[in-house]
Amino acid sequence: MNATLDNANLESKRSPSLLAAATVIVVSVMAINSAIAQPTIPMVRKASSNMNYAAGRVLVKMTPTASAATAKASLPGVRSLEGLTSKAAGANAKATGRPAWFLAELNDGVTVEQALQTLAAEPSVLSVKPDFIRSLPTPIHSNANSSAADPNEGQQYALERIEAAAAWQMEAGQKSVVVAVIDTGVQMNHPDLSAQMWKNPNETANGIDDDNNGFVDDLNGWNFVSNNNNPNDDNEHGTHCSGIVAATRGNGQGIAGTANVTIMAVKVLDSQGSGAISGILRGVQYAADNGASIISLSLGGGSFDEAEAELYRDVIARNVVVIAASGNESANEVGYPAAYEGVISVGATDINDQIANFSNTGQGLSISAPGVDVLSTVPGSTYASLSGTSMATPYVAGVAALVRSANPSITAAQVGQRLMDSADDLGMPGYDTVYGAGRVNARKALANETNPNPSPTPSPTPAPGNNTTPDTALPIQAGDFSGTCRSELWYSISLSRAAKIDITLSGSQGDLDLYVMDASGEVLAASESETSFESVSGNLATGQYLIAVAAYEGKSASFTMSVRTSATNPGNPGNPDPDFPLPDDDFEPDMGEMCGATSGMPMLAMIAGLMGFGTTVRRRK
Ligand SMILES: [Ca+2]
Ligand SMILES: [Ca+2]
Ligand SMILES: [Ca+2]
Ligand SMILES: [Ca+2]
């Protein structure tokens, strides 16, 4: 089915019923805009997750000249101000003249909301943010036995998939390579992990910060949740991830890790799996400052955070490989921190190399790894199977550690490129947004084998970068595009003069729909058949427009989209081409069916209210 697109001039040519329909659209979009202040279309929207933040403190970015001392004296409502960047990172920031981030503890009675307002008005403050909470993607427990006593390498299908045994013939790992598992901590005396744990060579247990790194008696890493030197695991997640990276192989018990390298325990998430960004930032810097060359982050959620983005950029610039889980929300959107520029983002595959149904996909996805029913170490000196992109991430970290073991001088960027170039291509040929470059392969990565059917592998999406919201619409010009849409993807096109536009969408499966909106989010045209073949065409005036591809009720699909522009009738730019079909009934929204109401205006408030809660609201013929 086709629908047609027009500009405002066309409305006067509509039949009265269509005009009424168009009026309904305009009013509803305005109501939505006033409620949530961004263009939106009535379709399945993922509820914003993980937007909690810590009480009593905010993150503040100060001008380079505002020292902590003077700023403290002058910031209203702030009790104390502590640098968020470590010494090493701070020196780096100072050398580059970059403003620094501070953690501001608020006076009693000052709310975060008040502080955001008052501090934003301060001349020395460049930016002020809540201290958001990140958490680990919810792990999925399998019913595999959790008391495995015998060597279980045979159960580790993942090692077979990534050709670990062949890889180990070339390089089994070097203890000099340190992988920081930034997570819920590690059971450091687990019999399959104790031989792999990092120990601070320059620290002794004497109540003194012997190595002057800012942490007293940090013999085995640090606990940034309780701010002490005990990063043991009171959850299970960090221990599980650590075993995937480096559980001791050939010791007659349990499982084999991916690489015989060193694990640094850095606890930033509490027993429930949550932690504030301020703690995560400090944990990441601790790892980089104290010798980790690979950081494995099986955590995420929430939204883009300016302080985080800067931190990861700095850490990667210091030649640390940063690897993070894409998330377990089945979203077509890679979560943060995985989506930050330069971070290797990892999706999860199963025993058959199929993408896991929970795995987030999207344009920021770098690579995939086994993450379904993964057997690994857990506290209590035992073993359990878990599923999640959390489990896929440490496999990639383990392979990265093998590559760095064999090639000590390889740069962080080269490691990422090597892993992607040597991955086993899955899904659509070449890079795709479901599997990224493909499933990681340890043997091929060490042999520096390149995918025989290479395609240009995009670097991880620049933050914020994923075109899954109107705010992050991908700027395009006329051309052909492809992707995989699980919820919605947004594109923007700028017309420097009036033009006729023709957009066709084809997908072999699922039920994708196509929308065109003006820059304010007003829906100009929609094509909503029950297949993924859609098209809209019509004349547009000079200006900026949004195009959205949306999966109806989760019926996702891979698609190709063709966008073509051509000159309008030169004598009457902006008005319909005489050959151009007028809008037909396909353009009429059926809000009555959707909301269970019969007609008209009373539903509009309902629609706006529902949108505010992220509830599924769709108009549908
Ligand atoms: Ca120390
Ligand atoms: Ca000491
Ligand atoms: Ca073992
Ligand atoms: Ca592919």
- 433-448: per-residue pLDDT in tens? 999 999 999 999 999 9
pLDDT at 604: 28
**Is 76 found in the same domain as 10?**
no
Task: Using a CB cutoff of 5 Å, list residues around ligand 2, an ion.
Answer: 203-204, 206, 208, 210, 217
The residues near 133 (Cβ < 8 Å, ≥ 6 apart) are 50, 52, 53, 54, 274, 275, 276, 277, 302
**Is 473 found in the same domain as 435?**
no
pLDDT at 575: 45
Query: Within a 10 A sphere around the Cβ of 146, how many other Cβ atoms?
Result: 14
**558 or 289, which is more confident:** 289
Sign of CA dihedral 178, 276, 338, 64: negative
pLDDT at 116 over 60: yes
Closest CA to 295 of 275, 306, 307, 281: 281
Kindly report whether the peptide bond that precedes residue 337 is cis, defined as omega within 30 degrees of 0.
Answer: yes
Query: Of 78, 103, 132, at which residue does a domain stop?
Result: 132
Q: How, if at all, do strands 140-141 and 382-387 pair?
A: antiparallel
pLDDT at 36: 28
How many angstroms does the Cα of residue 349 sit away from the middle of ligand 4? 13
**Is 481 found in the same domain as 340?**
no
**Is 362 found in the same domain as 318?**
yes
Residue 112 covered by a domain: yes
Kindly state the average pLDDT of the residues 454-481. Answer: 58
How many angstroms does the Cα of residue 494 sit away from the middle of ligand 2? 61
**Is 379 found in the same domain as 318?**
yes
Residue 453 covered by a domain: no
Residue 510 sits in a domain of what CATH number?
2.60.120.380
pLDDT at 461: 36
In Å, the largest CA–CA distance within the chain is 87
How many angstroms does the Cα of residue 291 sit away from the middle of ligand 1? 13
Kindly state the average pLDDT of the residues 519-540. Answer: 83
Kindly state the average pLDDT of the residues 39-44. Answer: 34
pLDDT at 140: 54
**Model confidence band, residue 306 (pLDDT cutoffs 50, 70, 90):** confident
How many angstroms does the Cα of residue 288 sit away from the middle of ligand 2? 20
Least confident of 142-146, 166-170, 394-398, 412-416: 142-146
pLDDT at 152: 62
How many angstroms does the Cα of residue 172 sit away from the middle of ligand 3? 14
How many angstroms does the Cα of residue 282 sit away from the middle of ligand 1? 14
**4 or 303, which is more confident:** 303
| Mean pLDDT over each residue of the chain, to the nearest integer | 77
Per the structure, the count of domains in the chain is 3
SS3 state at 417: helix
Alpha carbons 132 and 305: distance in angstroms, whole number: 9
**Model confidence band, residue 620 (pLDDT cutoffs 50, 70, 90):** very low
pLDDT at 479: 66
Residue 605 covered by a domain: no
pLDDT at 491 over 80: yes
Query: Within a 10 A sphere around the Cβ of 522, how many other Cβ atoms?
Result: 19
**Model confidence band, residue 546 (pLDDT cutoffs 50, 70, 90):** confident
Share of the chain above pLDDT 70, in %: 72
- Would you name the residues annotated as active-site residues? 183, 237, 390
**Model confidence band, residue 72 (pLDDT cutoffs 50, 70, 90):** low
Closest CA to 400 of 412, 387, 392, 409: 412
pLDDT at 501 over 90: no
Query: Of 100, 132, 164, at which residue does a domain stop?
Result: 132
Closest ligand to the CA of 213: 1
How many angstroms does the Cα of residue 484 sit away from the middle of ligand 4? 12
Alpha carbons 83 and 251: distance in angstroms, whole number: 44
Contact between 238 and 252 (Cβ < 8 Å): no
Task: Using a CB cutoff of 5 Å, list residues around ligand 4, an ion.
Answer: 425, 427, 432
**Model confidence band, residue 190 (pLDDT cutoffs 50, 70, 90):** very high
**Is 333 found in the same domain as 477?**
no
Quick: pLDDT tens for 225-273: 999 999 999 999 999 999 999 999 999 989 999 999 999 999 999 999 9
**Is 216 found in the same domain as 119?**
no
Quick: pLDDT tens for 328-341: 988 888 999 999 99
Closest ligand to the CA of 349: 4
How many angstroms does the Cα of residue 468 sit away from the middle of ligand 4? 21
pLDDT at 1: 36
pLDDT at 123: 83
Kindly state the average pLDDT of the residues 320-329. Answer: 95
pLDDT at 63 over 80: no
**Is 475 found in the same domain as 350?**
no
pLDDT at 111 over 70: yes
**303 or 616, which is more confident:** 303
- Pick from 89-103, 317-331, 565-579 the range whose average pLDDT is largest: 317-331
pLDDT at 354 over 90: yes
Contact between 18 and 6 (Cβ < 8 Å): no
Q: Which two tokens stand for residue 46?
A: 């993922």
Alpha carbons 179 and 52: distance in angstroms, whole number: 29
Closest ligand to the CA of 206: 2
- Give ∠ CA 427-431-432 in degrees, rounded to 5: 55
Q: What is the residue range of 170's domain?
A: 140-447
Only one residue has tokens 């687990």, namely 190
Q: In what helix (H) or strand (E) does residue 28 lie, and over which residues does it extend? A: helix 16-36
Residue 280 sits in a domain of what CATH number?
3.40.50.200
pLDDT at 307 over 90: no
pLDDT at 124 over 90: no
pLDDT at 605: 27
**Amino acid (1-letter code) at residue 459:** S
Q: Which two tokens stand for residue 281?
A: 């930032």
**Amino acid (1-letter code) at residue 167:** A
**Is 378 found in the same domain as 508?**
no
Half-sphere exposure of 43 (CA within 13 A, CB side): 29
Alpha carbons 400 and 423: distance in angstroms, whole number: 12
Closest ligand to the CA of 455: 4
The residues near 407 (Cβ < 8 Å, ≥ 6 apart) are none
Query: Within a 10 A sphere around the Cβ of 4, how many other Cβ atoms?
Result: 22
Contact between 546 and 516 (Cβ < 8 Å): yes
Query: Of 132, 151, 175, at which residue does a domain stop?
Result: 132
> Which segments of 247-305 does DSSP mark as H helices, in order?
277-289
**Model confidence band, residue 47 (pLDDT cutoffs 50, 70, 90):** very low
- Give ∠ CA 568-576-539 in degrees, rounded to 5: 60
Residue 111 sits in a domain of what CATH number?
3.30.70
**Is 374 found in the same domain as 261?**
yes
pLDDT at 97 over 80: no
Q: Which two tokens stand for residue 127?
A: 């930016």
Alpha carbons 454 and 452: distance in angstroms, whole number: 6
Torsion of CA 85, 87, 92, 95, to 10 degrees: 110
**Is 180 found in the same domain as 79?**
no
pLDDT at 533: 84
Residue 23 covered by a domain: yes
**Is 122 found in the same domain as 87?**
yes
Closest ligand to the CA of 150: 3
